[in-house]
Amino acid sequence: MDTMNYNELLKDRIYIGGFEDADSVRDKVDIIVDLRAEAPEVEFDDVTRVHRPIVEDADQQEASVRRAINEVVTAYQNGKNVYFHCNGGSNRTGTVAAGTLLSLGEASTLEEAETKAKNVRPKINIKPELKNVLKVLYSNN
């Protein structure tokens, strides 16, 4: 019996987790967004895979987070079901989850977005440098 280690951020539409679960969620999604900078090239015949790495380099970090969130939000707004993941599904995934909730109006503050994301996936742990990026991107929230 397979153990499901991915979670629903938005019911039946946006799923989050680690890279190990990308294969098991394929039948539910149209697009998989890989947030790992260290990601190998992986192709699926039945689902689109997009590589939007969140880089650790401070100069590019804000832009990489913005690109990843925009990819998820745009796919969602275009009616696609989305799965996004990093390696373990905690830091980079949590960052994009919080940003996605803020962008879609599902949360009004960063704290609320992080809490909602953690309620869905308790292992989410957004590191301070990525939390600071979110504060810059969503300074009006």
Band of pLDDT at residue 56, cut at 50, 70 and 90 = confident
AA letter at 39: A
> For the packed helices 58-77 and 128-137, what is the interaxial angle rounded to 10 degrees?
60
The pLDDT of residue 1 is 39
Q: What is the mean pLDDT of residues 16-30?
A: 92
Long-range contacts (CB closer than 8 Å, 24 or more residues apart) made by 106-109:
106/10, 107/141, 108/141, 109/141
25 CB contacts (<8 Å, ≥6 apart)? 6, 15, 17, 32, 83
**Start-to-end Cα distance in the chain:** 43
| Structural domains in the chain plus CATH codes | 8-137 (3.90.190.10)
What is the number of alpha carbons within 13 Å of residue 76 lying toward its C-beta? 23
The pLDDT of residue 2 is 52
pLDDT digits (tens, 9 = 90+) for 46-55: 789 898 999 8
Q: What is the value of pTM for the model shown?
A: 0.93
11 CB contacts (<8 Å, ≥6 apart)? none
pLDDT digits (tens, 9 = 90+) for 68-110: 999 999 999 999 999 999 999 999 999 999 999 999 999 999 9
Main-chain dihedrals φ then ψ at residue 54, nearest 5 degrees = -95, 115
- DSSP label at residue 95: H
